[in-house]
């Protein structure tokens, strides 16, 4: 079916139905999808994903650890795709050095909580998405919200925290989408429970990597975050991905992508 011929329903009509039936708009969207009616906001998701897959995304739960260069783009992408329940952790506030790359960072948002600003913009982008914004470390919710996620995204900014997150995900048997950036370079991999590839990548490293010297460029963060979001969607929809068995190294300066087979899992 051509994308243009899909039966659709506008947000205004969804809101009206939600008021009449005293239900959240997200529930109306689900009912519409079940009845073969696509909310207009998801029209351009069709037919890259099916209507049934869109419905699954509306019910999905994803946790994003870190709300900076990577995390903010990931939150935006997942909300636009229609992932229904998003949790995000970051204790930080916006500072001037974030302005070169972080989505939603502006002079107006300096000093404000990153997760609160993120929630505000996500509600503007897709009000049907439930956002749990936690101005704290993910470890603080380790025994509660964290465990309820179907997929966790590593959008952190230091190596010891990344290793601790990988360990927690392994214990809870939650898939982890790892991404990291420095300058023109980035890396991404999908870590299924039992996969020790992050330990191989980082060994016993402490602190930070070459980003200390190379900085972090906006398009690198956006590119790696986009790849992470795509991997989240693939996992949620049980689509195949090579990144469970590979680490992908991206070099935007040389325009090269190296895909390395994981040898230790």
Partner 1 sequence: MKVKVKLFANFRKDRFKEKDMELADDCTIGWVVDHLKIPRKELGVIFLNGLSAETDTVLKDGDTLSIFPMVGGG
Pairing of strands 246-251, 185-191: antiparallel
Pairing of strands 61-65, 85-89: parallel
152 binds partner 1 per the rule CB under 8 A:
no
Collapsed DSSP state (helix, strand, coil) of residue 137: coil
What is the C-alpha end-to-end distance of the chain, expressed in Å?
42
Sequence-ordered list of residues with C-beta below 8 angstroms from that of 171, at least 6 positions apart, any chain: none
Nearer to partner 1 (CB atom), residue 38 or residue 244: 244
- Structure tokens belonging to residue 123: 């509600």
Q: What are phi and psi of 259, to 5 degrees?
A: -110, 110
Do 191 and 163 contact (CB within 8 A), yes or no?
A: no
- Burial label for 137, CB within 10 Å (0-12, 13-18, 19+), is middle
Count of residues in contact with partner 1, rule CB under 8 A: 42
Q: How far is the CB of 252 from partner 1 (least distance, A)?
A: 10
183 binds partner 1 per the rule CB under 8 A:
yes
62 binds partner 1 per the rule CB under 8 A:
no
Q: How far is the CB of 237 from partner 1 (least distance, A)?
A: 25
Of 166, 169, 179, 222, which one interacts with partner 1 (CB under 8 A)?
179
Within 192-251, the residues that bind partner 1 by CB under 8 A are 200-202, 205, 208-211, 213-214, 216, 221, 247, 249, 251
Binding piece for partner 1, criterion CB under 8 A, among 3-11, 23-31, 124-132, 149-157? 149-157
- Structure tokens belonging to residue 137: 């470390």
146 binds partner 1 per the rule CB under 8 A:
no
Which residues sit at the interface with partner 1, rule CB under 8 A? 66, 68-71, 154-159, 162, 179-187, 200-202, 205, 208-211, 213-214, 216, 221, 247, 249, 251, 254, 258, 260-261, 263-264
């Amino acid at each position: 079916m051509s994308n243009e011929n899909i039966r659709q329903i506008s947000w205004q009509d969804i809101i009206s139905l939600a008021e009449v039936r005293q239900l959240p708009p997200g529930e109306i969207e689900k009912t519409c999808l079940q009845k073969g009616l696509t909310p207009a906001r998801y029209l351009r998701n069709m037919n890259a994903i099916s209507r049934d897959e869109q419905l699954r995304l509306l019910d999905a739960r994803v946790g994003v650890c870190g709300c900076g260069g990577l995390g903010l783009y990931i939150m935006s992408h997942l909300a636009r795709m229609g992932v229904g329940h998003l949790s995000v952790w970051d204790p930080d506030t916006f500072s001037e050095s974030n302005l070169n790359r972080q989505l939603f960072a502006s002079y107006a948002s300096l000093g404000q909580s990153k997760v609160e600003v993120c929630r505000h913009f996500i509600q503007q982008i897709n009000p049907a998405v439930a956002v749990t914004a936690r101005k704290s470390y993910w470890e603080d919710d380790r025994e509660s919200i964290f465990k309820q996620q179907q997929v966790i995204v590593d959008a952190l900014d230091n190596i010891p925290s990344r290793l601790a997150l990988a360990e927690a995900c392994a214990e809870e048997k939650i898939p982890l989408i790892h991404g990291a950036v420095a300058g023109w370079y980035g890396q991404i991999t999908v870590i299924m429970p039992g996969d020790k590839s992050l330990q191989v990548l980082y060994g016993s490293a402490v602190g930070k990597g070459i980003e200390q010297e190379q900085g972090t460029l906006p398009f690198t963060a956006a590119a790696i975050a986009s790849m992470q979001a795509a991997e989240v969607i693939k996992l949620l929809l049980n689509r195949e991905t090579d990144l469970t068995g590979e680490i992908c190294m991206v070099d935007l300066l040389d325009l090269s992508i190296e895909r390395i087979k994981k040898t230790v899992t």
